[in-house]
């Protein structure tokens, strides 16, 4: 299988520098535990002393039992005015009491002169001093050569000299950082080859790592190329989160290492947890999942065109580069205006509906689907509505209630206060006429409340159903405020969640359609359980 690659995750430090990425100490602990279960080798927890969250994290992580991963504290070389044993940053790193310490130093002479305002020789001294002070006091000591590639291109001899001082100080792994993210893949081979030649003449043998940023959209490519050139440690983040355009995306790098390069790493044993780990990080950061993300995105193994679907059902290799379950993902057959009969048959089988290729209703359903999507309906993100559509076409959908009329009144009485909203609804359940009204926080909520009020005494299970998401999209802007809109509603109960859709030039009408589908789907689910 070849050599073993170390995976160093910096989501909890570099990842949190991403815009809108905010997590609590408890979230950081949960992510660390998930990374440990995944098989990550090193987890960079943050910069001790940089903020209260990092301080609290390093205190709490001491009480957490990790089976494989080792926690790293991150910081800089000593301040030029401080001796190593008196430097607050180095002392804070030791006080974190982690098995790993990673410190960074300047490799680019521009940074030494313009950021640190010290001489080039002074910078070499603080690199060696800092590492030498830490070396006997920590189990693993890593050195991040910040801005190495830019520094090498500007002054290669000086950039290499900084690496030599890091080795003299005791670093066991030297990580080459593309901090500005501007290096292209074709630049790496001659630079890494020169680095390896230089290190052959140093006092000790060390491992090499790569830390790439994604400002040129090459972080993953640079990381994988570096591995092919003999680098043994990859640093990155889950889902590629990081400052500016992000860091090297471990959810893309790890499967490539395991399945395409055939290299060993601890994550290989647990790589089927990659999808759930990716989703957990997004969820705790309160950020949307990137459905188009390779390997772990919802669309990574989604098939839409009828010809594709037909081929994938015969042999998934025709349109999939790996099996989705290897990374914990699933194959999805989408329902859309590009759908052929294979898509519809696949959904019918999934939902336990009897529909054969020779059934005339298959052509009817496919035709109705394409017509509705031409009107603006979207079933890729609203499969509950499509299942109801299929059941109605097959004569399997029960009519739980009959709609008669509804009305929404919005009364604005004070400029400084929110408007008062009331919805009135009239419907029949069996032979009973129901006429109810309800107040709400806006017209959609008022309609929802009125519907529940009317139906709950007949169907008590609706009490456990809640609306969790509501999205409106204008389908075309050429008609201004008369444009057609699509409403997507997500609902859930104690067992699962489902999505429904409505389309109209009237936003309340579209919302009503989606609400009705959502309630019908819930009632249909309850019937199927009986």
Domains and CATH numbers, the chain: 6-284 (3.20.20.70), 302-366 (no CATH), 402-529 (3.30.160.270)
pLDDT at 518: 96
pLDDT at 412: 86
Cβ atoms of residues 362 and 394 within 8 Å: no
pLDDT per position as a tens digit, 151-195: 999 999 999 999 999 999 999 999 999 999 999 999 999 999 999
Q: φ, ψ for residue 348 (rounded to 5)?
A: -60, -45
Low-confidence ranges of the chain (pLDDT < 50): none
- Separation in Å, CA 399 to CA 392, 403, 488, 521: 10, 10, 22, 11
pLDDT at 127: 98
pLDDT at 335: 67
Question: Distance (Å, rounded) from C-alpha 511 to C-alpha 487?
Answer: 6
Average pLDDT of the residues of the chain: 92
pLDDT at 279: 85
Neighbours of 439 (CB within 10 A): 12
Quick one: DSSP state of residue 277?
A: H
Number of separate helices (H) and strands (E) present in the chain = 17, 16
């Amino acid at each position: 299988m070849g050599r073993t690659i170390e995976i160093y995750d910096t989501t909890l430090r570099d990842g949190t520098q991403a815009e809108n990425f905010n997590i609590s100490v408890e979230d950081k602990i949960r992510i660390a535990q998930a990374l440990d279960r995944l098989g990550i080798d090193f987890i960079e927890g943050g910069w001790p002393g940089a903020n209260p969250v990092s301080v609290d994290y390093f205190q709490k992580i001491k009480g957490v039992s990790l089976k494989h991963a080792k926690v790293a504290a991150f910081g800089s070389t000593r301040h030029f005015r401080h001796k190593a044993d008196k430097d607050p940053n180095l002392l804070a790193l030791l006080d974190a009491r982690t098995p790993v310490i990673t410190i960074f130093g300047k490799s680019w002479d521009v940074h030494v002169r313009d950021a640190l305002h010290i001489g080039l020789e002074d910078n070499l001294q603080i690199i060696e001093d800092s590492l030498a002070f830490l070396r006997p006091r920590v189990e693993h000591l890593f050195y991040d050569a910040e801005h190495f590639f830019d520094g090498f291109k500007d002054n290669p001899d000086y950039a290499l000299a900084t690496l030599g001082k890091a080795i003299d100080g005791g670093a066991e792994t030297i990580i080459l950082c593309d901090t500005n993210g501007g290096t292209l893949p074709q630049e790496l081979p001659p630079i890494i080859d020169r680095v390896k030649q230089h290190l052959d003449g140093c006092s000790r043998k060390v491992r090499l790592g790569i830390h790439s940023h994604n400002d040129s959209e090459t972080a993953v490519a640079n990381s994988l190329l570096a591995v092919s050139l003999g680098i043994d440690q990859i640093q990155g983040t889950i889902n590629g989160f990081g400052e500016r355009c992000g860091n090297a995306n471990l959810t893309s790098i790890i499967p490539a290492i395991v399945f395409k390069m055939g290299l060993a790493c601890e994550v290989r044993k647990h790589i089927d947890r990659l999808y759930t780990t990716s989703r957990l990080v997004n969820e705790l950061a309160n950020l949307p999942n990137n459905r188009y993300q390779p390997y772990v995105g919802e669309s990574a193994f989604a098939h839409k065109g009828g010809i594709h679907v037909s081929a994938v059902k015969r042999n998934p290799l025709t349109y999939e580069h790996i099996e989705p379950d290897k990374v914990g993902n699933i194959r999805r057959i989408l329902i859309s205006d590009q759908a052929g009969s294979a898509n519809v048959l696949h959904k019918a089988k999934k939902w336990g509906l009897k529909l054969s290729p020779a059934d005339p209703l298959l052509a009817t359903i496919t035709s109705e689907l394409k017509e509705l999507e031409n009107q603006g309906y979207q079933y890729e993100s609203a499969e509950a509505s499509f299942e109801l559509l299929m059941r109605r076409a097959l004569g399997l959908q029960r009519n739980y209630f009959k709609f008669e009329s509804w009305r929404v009144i919005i009364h604005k009485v004070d400029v400084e206060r929110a408007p008062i909203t009331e919805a009135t609804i009239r419907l029949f359940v069996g032979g009973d006429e129901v006429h109810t009204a309800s107040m709400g926080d806006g017209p959609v909520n008022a309609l929802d409340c009125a519907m529940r009020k009317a139906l709950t005494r007949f169907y008590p299970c609706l009490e456990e159903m809640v609306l969790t998401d509501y999205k409106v999209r204008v389908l075309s802007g050429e008609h201004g405020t008369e444009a057609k809109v699509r409403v997507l509603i997500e609902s859930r109960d104690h067992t699962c969640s489902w999505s429904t859709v409505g389309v109209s030039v009237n936003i309340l009408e579209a919302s009503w359609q989606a609400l009705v589908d959502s309630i019908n789907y819930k009632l249909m689910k309850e019937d199927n359980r009986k």
